[in-house]
Amino acid sequence: MSERIEDTGTLVEDHRLTPGTAKALRVAAGHVVQIVDLEGQQVGDFIAYRADAPGEYLSPAHTCSCLVKLVPAVGDELFSNHRTPLMRILRDDVGSHDLVVPCCDPERYSRDYDLHDHPSCLAGLQAALDAFGSDWPLHGELAWNVFMNNHLEDGRIVTYAPPHGAGSSIDLLALTDLVVCLVACPQDLSPCNNFAPSDMALRVWDR
Ligand SMILES: [Zn+2]
């Protein structure tokens, strides 16, 4: 049983995110980013950039390649598009994540549901980056689908409702200065969030 940052650290940032909304913030090397599902069965989409080199960012595809696995676990590092480790997973209550599919975007809802004004992770992330004052490029395929319960079955990607409960969290150690952004996924038309998106928290701890 690993120690919990709540018992040993100092909370320096705490932001509550309603579905479809996001927060971007700077994280110093050595601080711990904590993603919390406040109400349960909720997925967040997470992106990160090197603060000193925004052209280098967390890459789910490179992370899968470097780890030689589809789902990272406690102790694993998360890699950039230049295969630099940017974060390390210190603790994870959930253990299921998707690094294959992009975050939901306006086209996901217009193409698949004929809905043309549905909120999306991509729009939420973009709004948060805009509010942060960044003009760094955002690509939906660079989002890590935190806590998403996707399974590969006979070559198909099947989404199941996440089984994890309220208060589940994951702790990520920043290995370099980063800008990170988290959105609470507003997908209410698939099992992704068990058809009922709910709030998440983005916290930063000094340990
Ligand atoms: Zn989404």
Predicted TM-score (pTM) of this structure = 0.97
Residue 175 inside a domain? The answer is: no
Q: What is the reported pLDDT for 1?
A: 54
Question: What are 88-133's pLDDT values in tens digits?
Answer: 999 999 999 999 999 999 999 999 999 999 999 999 999 999 999 9
CA 89 to chain centre: 12
Residue 56 inside a domain? The answer is: no
Q: What is the reported pLDDT for 187?
A: 98
For residue 83, the CA-to-ligand 1 centroid distance in Å is 26
SS3 204: strand
Number of domains in the chain: 1
For residue 188, the CA-to-ligand 1 centroid distance in Å is 9
**Do residues 166 and 90 make contact, with C-beta atoms less than 8 angstroms apart?**
no
Q: What is the reported pLDDT for 3?
A: 77
Q: Which residues of the chain have pLDDT under 50?
A: none
Q: Letter for the amino acid at 165? A: G
- pLDDT averaged over every residue in the chain: 97
For residue 112, the CA-to-ligand 1 centroid distance in Å is 14
Residue 185 inside a domain? The answer is: yes
Residue 172 inside a domain? The answer is: no
Q: Residue 133: which domain range?
A: 5-51+95-167+181-198
For residue 3, the CA-to-ligand 1 centroid distance in Å is 31
* Short-list 25, 51, 10, 2, CA closest to 125: 25
